[in-house]
Amino acid sequence: MDWVGQWYVLQEERGEFARIRFGCAEVGCEPEWYTVPHKDADGIGAFADLLRRRGYGAFATLPQMRQSDDTTRFPLRPLRPPAQVAAWMDFDTDWSGGSPQDACPSSMHWVILSEGQTRRVEEAALGQGVSLNSLLLWALNRALGPWLDRSGPALWSMPVNLRGAVAVMPDTANQFAAIDIDIACSGEAPAAPKDVHARIRQLLAQGAHWQAWNSWNVGERVGINGMRMLLQKSLQSGRRKTGLFSNLGAWDDGKTAPTVDWIFLAPVTKEVPFAACVLNWRGRLTAAIQAHPALATDPQRAADWLDAWMKELRGVCDSGA
């Protein structure tokens, strides 16, 4: 039973758009969009299923969890979120949709980096002594500072692939857990890439991903009605996260030249109203942003955020540090 997927059933029940979106763009053309219910698959599983259905034969085995991240199934000590989290200044707390279609994001934008640009970003991460995820998240957090009230650190949810350490069938089902990464906002005591990298490694060492996995699988003990009650209690607390950052990793179908690019967008909710998503398709990194309607409905706002993110990345690439 995919108990993680049942949380997305409940999200759609309350009127959220709990679907993963993928865009397939032939070079120089507008993308053709596909949606996959998150209740059926996580990002890796949904993308793999989509590729398989389109006749790509190189993805019989899905990406596995890195052994270094499989530290323990239980946290060493209780992990608590920050008491105060930076809030979006233009967030509409009164927004209320009535259906998943009402909550479907319209503020979205994406960029496709060339192979050369992708290598520069990867080399910049190597030069900083950090992972690619750490550099991307650092740049994103720094870029969004002007839109946050900086009343506390930003709080980013980042999925961790658990395949190889857990086994849920089919192989495309939800097999991930998300760690919550608190990062100082740009302006007052801004974080550096190494700070973000160290915080991610610390959370993994503490077993934050296993704490999340155990919590998200509480349905094994309380059933769907118990999950519904827990979700309602969480919603009543009014706590929100800054957003979600997700990287589907590097994919290659073994062909000689890219003829399409792929864009990935994870779903957002009123409680996690922003998503920044990346994937590497055959050496070309795509980055995409979308916002919940409570945060933005104008596509230009997503374009502004994405431009600011890419500007930060160009800065660290140009610095040669």
Give the model's pLDDT for residue 309: 98
**Residue 239 confidence class, pLDDT cut points 50, 70, 90:** confident
* End-to-end Cα distance, the chain: 47
CATH no. for 3-58+84-319: 3.30.559.30
Measure the CA dihedral 97/44/176/288, to 10°: -50
Quick check: pTM over 0.85? yes
pLDDT of residue 145 exceeding 70, the answer is yes
Give the model's pLDDT for residue 287: 98
Look at 83 and 133; give whichever has higher pLDDT.
133
Amino acid found at 82:
P
| pLDDT digits 0-9 by tens, 88-121 | 999 999 999 889 999 999 999 999 999 999 999 9
Mean pLDDT of 33-59: 92
Distance of CA 196 to the CA centre of its chain: 16
**Residue 27 confidence class, pLDDT cut points 50, 70, 90:** confident
3-state SS assignment for residue 148: strand
Q: How far is the C-alpha of 263 from the C-alpha of 21, rounded, in Å? A: 8
| pLDDT digits 0-9 by tens, 167-184 | 899 999 999 999 999 998
Question: Which of 164, 162, 172 is CA-nearest to residue 42?
Answer: 172
| pLDDT digits 0-9 by tens, 269-305 | 999 999 999 999 999 999 999 999 999 999 999 999 9
Pairing mode, strands 260-265 and 19-26: antiparallel
Do you know the residue count of the chain? 321
Mean pLDDT of 131-154: 94
Tokens of 107: 């503020």
pLDDT of residue 230 exceeding 70, the answer is yes
Give the model's pLDDT for residue 319: 82
